[in-house]
Amino acid sequence: MDLEKIKKLQEMVNDSNRIVFFGGAGVSTESGIPDFRSVDGLYNQKYDYPPETILSHTFYMRNKPEFYRFYNEKIMIDGIEPNAAHKKLAEMEAKGKLSAVITQNIDGLHQKAGSKKVLELHGSTLRNYCVECGKFFDGAYMFEQKAAGVTVPKCDACGGDIKPDVVLYEEGLDQNILQESVYELSHADMLIIGGTSLVVYPAAGLIDYFRGKYLVLINKSATARDTRADLVITDSIGEVLSQIEV
């Protein structure tokens, strides 16, 4: 851990009152959720198609049992808990330092840690809807279906198929969430980007709306925007944020 950089980050946080955090898969992997895009996942040949194909709208429509086989194993991970990064961000919001978390993750861990303003660009596994009658189902219902070995979760009211409220490949992002994200980014005085290499749409384009004072990148590996940042910390997001006092 580079203590000089932690000190600098602390000074930036102290000097900011409208921080926005933009987080990617790395925030969740530290809670034990595998990144399905990782090399490990791709070459773990239990599936006949790459993750991006299975998690597409077309594939969901054509092959729901195979979609859910992958989804239940790689995405719906039971017993996960918020880590130090989620907790510190919730604390920053509670103390009036942070205005929003924008996340590409779909696990609901920010809310579980206590964050209120969470903009979920790719939806949430904890919200699910019957495609026939629209009835809502929470994450617990989906875990029950998974535990019972159901191949395609069904609505308990009409028997229709249930679809997770997550943005699949080929599907558009929620325009309201995008607009709110643009608003928060353009009004932020500090932007902390964590756990993402910034290659996944729409991350790269969205952060261009940031016009504030401090741009900080915290990621285990180098990212596409390293050159523009005021501070780059190549380390675990949880370990870095847990050292910041608010």
Instruction: Give the footprint of Zn ion on this chain (CB under 5 A).
Output: 130, 132-133, 135, 155, 157-158, 160
Cβ nearer to Zn ion, comparing 130 with 218: 130
Q: Which of 57, 86, 110, 122 is catalytic?
A: 122
Burial class (CB in 10 A: 0-12, 13-18, 19+), 149: exposed
Report the distance separating Cα 103 and Cα 98, nearest Å: 14
- Catalytic-residue membership of 110: no
CB 135 within 8 A of CB 155: yes
Cβ nearer to Zn ion, comparing 35 with 165: 165
Report the distance separating Cα 53 and Cα 48, nearest Å: 10
**Minimum distance of Zn ion from residue 154's CB (angstroms):** 8
**Minimum distance of Zn ion from residue 170's CB (angstroms):** 24
SS3 content of the chain, % helix, strand, coil (to 5): 40, 20, 40
CB 169 within 8 A of CB 57: yes
Cβ nearer to Zn ion, comparing 77 with 131: 131
Cβ nearer to Zn ion, comparing 150 with 200: 150
**Minimum distance of Zn ion from residue 132's CB (angstroms):** 5
Nearest CA to 162 out of 192, 182, 139, 180 is that of 139
At residue 49's C-alpha, the angle toward residues 45 and 54, to 5°, is 120
The token pair that represents 177 in the structure block: 């969430």
Which helix H or strand E contains 132, and what residues bound it?
none
**Minimum distance of Zn ion from residue 161's CB (angstroms):** 9
Cβ nearer to Zn ion, comparing 41 with 160: 160
**Minimum distance of Zn ion from residue 66's CB (angstroms):** 22
State the catalytic residues.
Answer: 122
